[in-house]
């Protein structure tokens, strides 16, 4: 067993790497979608002579940049020897993401992956399901893309597939792990699209051009389709990556529907931006995305005291009343002197040794014990519903 301190450092370094590579990848992806959609067609004779499809001027970092797009490579000269590919950003995002998933949800399976009130899985079974879901997610998506040719039908099938996956994961894992696994499947699909479809297609095209043969258009069309999917997946995946900070989303009793709604909002907002680059300004899409988020926010708002207990006022529960509950269930980890065998230092520096500390963190205590119910961690001290209700009443009376 590694000490929690060492695990924290591993997690810090891997997460840092994951964010850096993810920014590089999604940043490049946003840039190229933007670039492609802003290209201006060039004069017909230039296009014919040099093979330029469109171009664009930009100013950045103390100089001017002139980008030209050649669909089939330059017509008046050879392809340059050095081509930049933009693929390692994607691969490293996936590698670091899988390392992080392994560290947090496989190594920490009993705390973070498995919730025995959802499914009483052993750690090995949970990890096996995690791996299988990620691999199958890609295989099924890829097979569907290769069979269904109608774009809209394909889009609809992918939406249904993601919804099903989302629901299924909520039947297997803790809510938070279910969220992250939807993200892991989508992220894996995005990277596999780059590795198995987009890059090989580009390699074939480059090889044909270098050999002086007319390139086969099919891999290009397939690659374009997968790029479009990747573009729409970006905002949903980015939300999922930060979702573990927001137990109000995954901790809701219909967490899978909350996720489905937020993913749809992300897609709508991304579609709006992509279309806007091409001059089609349809703010209704953007507004629809925001409205959807607003509706979700209203629907998942925490219940008021009246709604939860049916009475408008209770005898006030004081902080002194809940101190014994906190001492019994929380301070093994959240204390200056932890007694937990794994968490040798208070997780996230959160300590409940004094009344002041408890009161200062009241909203978070309420959130994690009453709303998302993911504290105590994995309910390792078997906190009861009555104790949670007591904390709820304490919080409501403040």
**Minimum gap (Å) between residue 70 Cβ and ligand HEC:** 50
Where on the phi/psi map is residue 131: left (φ > 0), alpha (ψ -120 to 50), or beta? alpha
**Minimum gap (Å) between residue 366 Cβ and ligand HEC:** 9
**Minimum gap (Å) between residue 10 Cβ and ligand HEC:** 14
Of the candidates 356, 375, 355, the residue with the CA atom closest to the CA atom of residue 365: 375
**Minimum gap (Å) between residue 286 Cβ and ligand HEC:** 30
The residue of the chain with the least Cβ separation from ligand HEC equals 330
**Minimum gap (Å) between residue 321 Cβ and ligand HEC:** 14
| Closer Cβ to ligand HEC, 175 or 383, answer by number | 383
Rounded distance between C-alpha atoms, residue 158 and residue 141, angstroms: 7
- Which residues would be at the binding site for ligand HEC (CB under 6 A)? 329-330, 332-334, 340, 343, 347-348, 350, 361, 364-365, 368-369, 375-377, 380-381, 383
Rounded distance between C-alpha atoms, residue 148 and residue 38, angstroms: 30
| Closer Cβ to ligand HEC, 46 or 341, answer by number | 341
| Closer Cβ to ligand HEC, 26 or 383, answer by number | 383
| Closer Cβ to ligand HEC, 99 or 361, answer by number | 361
| Closer Cβ to ligand HEC, 74 or 347, answer by number | 347
CB proximity list for 150: less than 8 A, separation 6 or greater: none
Where on the phi/psi map is residue 303: left (φ > 0), alpha (ψ -120 to 50), or beta? beta
| Closer Cβ to ligand HEC, 13 or 132, answer by number | 13
**Minimum gap (Å) between residue 91 Cβ and ligand HEC:** 28
Give the tokens for residue 40.
């201006």
Please report, for residues 135, 299, 300, 336, the alpha-carbon distance to residue 170 in angstroms, rounded to integers and kept in the order given. Answer: 18, 19, 17, 35
**Minimum gap (Å) between residue 118 Cβ and ligand HEC:** 16
Please report, for residues 13, 38, 42, the alpha-carbon distance to residue 69 in angstroms, rounded to integers and kept in the order given. Answer: 38, 11, 10
Contacts 24+ apart (CB under 8 A), 368-371: 368/247, 370/395, 371/247, 371/248, 371/251, 371/302
Rounded distance between C-alpha atoms, residue 362 and residue 359, angstroms: 5
| Closer Cβ to ligand HEC, 237 or 377, answer by number | 377
**Minimum gap (Å) between residue 100 Cβ and ligand HEC:** 14
Chain length of the chain? 398
| Closer Cβ to ligand HEC, 111 or 222, answer by number | 111
Rounded distance between C-alpha atoms, residue 17 and residue 24, angstroms: 11
Contact of 24 with 89, CB cutoff 8 Å: yes
């Amino acid at each position: 067993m590694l000490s929690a301190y060492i695990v924290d450092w591993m997690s810090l370094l891997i997460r840092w790497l994951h964010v850096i590579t993810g920014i590089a990848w999604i940043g490049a992806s946003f840039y190229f979608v933007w670039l492609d959609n802003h290209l201006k067609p060039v004069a017909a004779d230039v296009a014919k002579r040099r093979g330029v499809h469109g171009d664009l001027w930009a100013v950045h970092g103390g100089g001017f940049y002139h980008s030209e797009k050649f669909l089939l490579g330059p017509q008046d000269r050879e392809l340059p020897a050095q081509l930049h590919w933009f693929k390692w950003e994607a691969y490293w995002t996936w590698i670091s993401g899988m390392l992080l998933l392994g560290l947090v949800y496989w190594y920490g399976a009993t705390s973070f992956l498995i919730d025995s009130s959802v499914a009483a899985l052993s750690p090995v079974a949970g990890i096996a399901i995690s791996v299988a879901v990620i691999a199958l997610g890609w295989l099924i998506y890829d097979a569907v893309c290769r069979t269904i040719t109608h774009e809209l039908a394909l889009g609809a099938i992918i939406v249904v597939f993601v919804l099903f996956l989302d629901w299924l994961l909520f039947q297997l894992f803790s809510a938070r792990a279910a969220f992250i696994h939807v993200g892991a499947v989508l992220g894996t699909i995005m990277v596999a699209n780059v590795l198995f479809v987009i890059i090989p297609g580009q390699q074939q095209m480059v090889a044909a051009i270098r050999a002086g043969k007319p390139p086969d258009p099919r891999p290009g069309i397939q690659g374009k389709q997968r790029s479009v999917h990747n573009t729409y997946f970006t905002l949903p995946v980015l939300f999922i990556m930060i979702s573990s900070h927001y137990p109000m989303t995954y901790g809701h009793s219909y967490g899978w529907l909350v996720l489905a709604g937020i993913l749809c909002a992300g897609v709508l907002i991304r579609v709006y931006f992509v279309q806007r680059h091409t001059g089609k300004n349809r703010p209704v899409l953007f507004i629809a995305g925001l409205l959807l988020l607003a509706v979700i926010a209203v629907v998942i708002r925490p219940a008021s005291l009246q709604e939860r207990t049916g009475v408008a006022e209770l005898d006030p529960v004081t902080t002194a009343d809940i101190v014994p509950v906190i001492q019994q269930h929380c301070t093994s980890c959240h204390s200056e002197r932890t007694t937990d065998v794994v968490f040798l230092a208070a997780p996230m520096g959160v300590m409940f040794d004094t009344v002041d500390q408890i009161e200062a963190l009241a909203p978070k205590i309420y959130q994690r014990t009453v709303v998302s119910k993911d504290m105590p961690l994995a309910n390792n001290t078997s906190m009861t519903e009555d104790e949670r209700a007591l904390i709820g009443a304490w919080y409501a009376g403040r």
